[in-house]
Chains A and B, each alone.
Chain A
Amino acid sequence: MNFEDLKVIWDSQADAPMYAVNEEGLHALLRQNTAHFTRRMRWQRLQTYLASLMVVGPISFLLIAHFGGLNPLATTWDAVALFTAAAAWLYFGGRVFVGRKRQAERERHFTSSLRDEIDRDIAQVTYQIDTRKQIMLSFIPPHVGSLLLVSVAFRLSSFAWWAIVPVLVVLLVNLVLESRSQQRLVDRELIPRQRELESLRDKLASG
């Protein structure tokens, strides 16, 4: 049997449809997909704005009041701590915002060949791996920010200094658990997928 024979077999299916399309289901799928994407983008934007507002808003208010002479803060160190907390949260929010914008941009990009498609997928997986591997580093600023905020709140409420210890422990445990869970995801799913795609690209390039 040669290739022409295979072509004859292949062409024998021309008039026999294999499947029927459920058009209603297909349109529902598209509607759901579009709605899901819009919802996701809206929710992410809302999260970013709310988190910034909830953390940076009160801090800014306290700082303005402090330097405006109302002195709600006990010392200048409190002001410095709050300023640092706001900066840490803003830095974190900015990183998340830029990362999501880049991700959305990558999703919008449309590829023309299989090679481009594979390269794009590899770039996406590599980005996810890098982001998740550095999760500990990127989560340190908001954790430090939260700790500073809580410590100032405790000082202003005249709590004992050691009251901050349980908060510190919870934040540290959270940081470690989150980091481990992300590392597991990288090891179990993302790295095998990256290898799979790289092997596909090698196969495509090999003569």
Chain B
Amino acid sequence: MTPDEQHRIFDRWIDQHKGLVFKVVHASTMTPEDRNDLFQDIAIQLWKSVPHFKGNAKESTWVFRVALNTAAVWTRRESRYRTRMESRSDLDGVIHEEVRGRNERLDWLYDEIRKLDAVNRSLMLLVLEGYSYQDVAEQLGITASNVGVKLNRLKKQLARIAEGVAQ
């Protein structure tokens, strides 16, 4: 694969699937600085993943998987270290927050997802995006029955929280 081809595919992925990446970034970080760091790390992983994409999965599934995996093992400390090492400080601001109307219910949902550990967060995001148990199992590398058990527990946990908020 030529660098030009890699660039072209990467640009298309970012253009068409940035919404998915934003959801992962927004659900995994608290501050604008962290969001920028994580987005940069995901972008680099996506770039590296282009030659490995063989078309067996949908592009959106691939992009979502790379974003989720990167976010799950991402740590602020590590990112800061890499930033220092690679002098990326001049690249701060690769993403900018858009001004949009407040959606309190959505903000609440994101807050709750952020409180989950990395495994449950990935699981929740996959299910909310409409992936089947089998797809989720494949993405996480666990069995479909394990996905079912985890998801039931998670749904109950979120329902309890939602009831608490409603009361």
A residues near B (Cβ < 8 Å) are 1-3, 5-7, 9-10, 12-14, 16-22, 25-26, 28-30, 32-33, 36, 110-118, 121, 189, 193, 196-197, 200, 203-205, 207
Contact = CB atoms under 8 A, between A and B. Distances in A.
Contacts of B25: 19
Given A19-B95, A110-B52, A117-B73, A10 B141 contact: no
B163 A1 contact: yes
Given A7-B128, A207-B149, A30 B73 contact: no
B72 A114 contact: yes
B151 to A, nearest CB: 9
Nearest to B47: A30
B105 A12 contact: yes
Contacts, number: 143
| Interface residue tally on B, bucketed by range | 35 or more
Contacts of B142: 115, 204-205
Given A32-B88, A118-B73, 12 more contacts: A10-B109, A13-B23, A13-B103, A18-B97, A22-B95, A25-B93, A29-B94, A110-B48, A117-B72, A196-B75, A197-B73, A203-B120
A114 B69 contact: yes
A20 B21 CA distance: 12
Interface in B118-167: 118-120, 122, 127-128, 130, 138-142, 146, 149-150, 155, 158-159, 162-163, 166
B30 interface: no
Given A200-B118, A204-B142, A29 B88 contact: yes
